[in-house]
A and B are shown apart, each in its own frame.
Chain A
């Protein structure tokens, strides 16, 4: 029962272009969403989050979009840089249920080509 799905295991983008990473979820009770970035041999690091009361949150080159009706969120990185090459995980939580644990997707490996 995969409640959070990242259907693209990998993505390759040219430096300077936009990277778009997608994530779908099935649990309509999820109300808080996050993106984490993971380099090899390191733990994931928090990147950006969005509450279900919003449909967009922007932080520098990173923007997260939420489409609640489609149960879909995406992470846009523009312009993409070589240091953005990493595995990106989306995660979700149902805070109104008092659920503290995050449910993660399988991850998408992003490669930025020079």
Chain B
């Protein structure tokens, strides 16, 4: 596609429920990143996928968070048993390859846990 597409754009969920956030990167981009931005904070790295390599999961805040990237394209970030502190904007970005730092970000999913 022309840009990085994320869905849903907004999600309100009850504490304890599971949520899935989707990212559709730019076609041909081999690198995909998930970041989140909590209120008043900078962008916090969550996970990075590069081609068929094992993902870098070092930024995932707890084992309630997981992500997968199917077929080297679409990625899904799953948060199980959501907590109020999970409320944030979740941003996905892609880049041509591991050497390309000019990420293209999606518009994000604003997650609110009530």
Contact A101 B41 (CB under 8 A): no
Q: Could you say which of A45, A100, A102 has the most chain B C-beta atoms within 10 Å of its C-beta?
A: A100
User: B50, B56, B93: which contacts A43 (Cβ < 8 A)?
Assistant: B93
How far is A100 from B94 in the complex, measured between Cα atoms in Å? 12
In the complex, the chain A residue whose C-beta lies closest to that of B45 is A101
A43-B93, A100-B50, A100-B56 known; A34 vs B101 contact (CB < 8 Å):
yes
Contact A49 B42 (CB under 8 A): no
A100-B31, A100-B50 known; A105 vs B42 contact (CB < 8 Å):
yes
Name which of B13-21, B69-77, B105-113 contacts chain A.
B105-113
B4 within 8 A of A: yes
Question: What mask results when residues 5 to 40 of chain B are scored 1 for a CB within 8 Å of chain A, else 0?
Answer: 000000000000000000000000001010100001
The interface of chain B, by Cβ under 8 A from chain A, is 4, 31, 33, 35, 40-45, 48, 50, 56, 59, 91, 93, 98, 101-108
30 contacts between A and B (CB under 8 A): A4-B42, A34-B102, A42-B107, A43-B93, A43-B105, A43-B106, A43-B108, A44-B91, A44-B105, A45-B105, A46-B102, A49-B102, A89-B42, A91-B43, A93-B101, A100-B98, A101-B33, A101-B45, A101-B48, A101-B56, A102-B45, A102-B101, A103-B45, A104-B35, A104-B42, A104-B44, A104-B45, A105-B42, A106-B41, A107-B42
Which 8 residue pairs spanning A and B have beta carbons closest together?
A43-B105, A104-B43, A106-B42, A46-B102, A104-B42, A101-B45, A44-B105, A100-B98
